[in-house]
Amino acid sequence: MFTHAVLFEIKPKEVRDYRKDSIMWARHAKKHSKGFVSYHTMERADVKNQYVSIYRWKTRNHHDIFMKEFHDNLLSKSKAKVKTLGYYNLKAMDKVL
């Protein structure tokens, strides 16, 4: 399992558009990538105006292929004005259910 997370700083008036944009990206991934697993929008609990978009993929290769093919197009369709604070690529190790 491969997880790609992006941390954003977003002004309150932009949050609605950010959430719509994020769902657009996730729906596109679900439709066009067999390796897409899930998407979550998270708000940082102890820091104001910071949000994380978390995408889970079967493999990093699925993520990379999707981003190469669709990133620029989806970015041009996104409406929210956001400041990207960081990108995090995570690989699953242990799992407890």
Structure confidence by residue, pLDDT tens digits, 65-95: 999 999 999 999 999 999 999 999 999 889 8
Distance between CA 8 and CA 18 in Å, rounded? 10
Q: Please give the pLDDT value at position 47.
A: 97
Output the furthest CA–CA distance in the chain (Å, rounded).
39
Task: Report the predicted TM-score, pTM, of the whole model to 2 decimal places.
Answer: 0.88
Please give the DSSP secondary-structure letter assigned to residue 44: -
Domains of the chain and CATH, by start: 2-91 (3.30.70.100)
CA 97 to chain centre: 23
- Summarised one tens digit per residue, pLDDT across range 11-67 is 999 999 999 999 999 999 999 999 999 999 999 999 999 999 999 999 999 999 999
Q: Which strand ranges, in their side-by-side order, compose the sheet holding 2-9?
A: 36-43, 50-57, 2-9, 83-91
What does DSSP say about strands 50-57 and 2-9: parallel, antiparallel, or unpaired? antiparallel
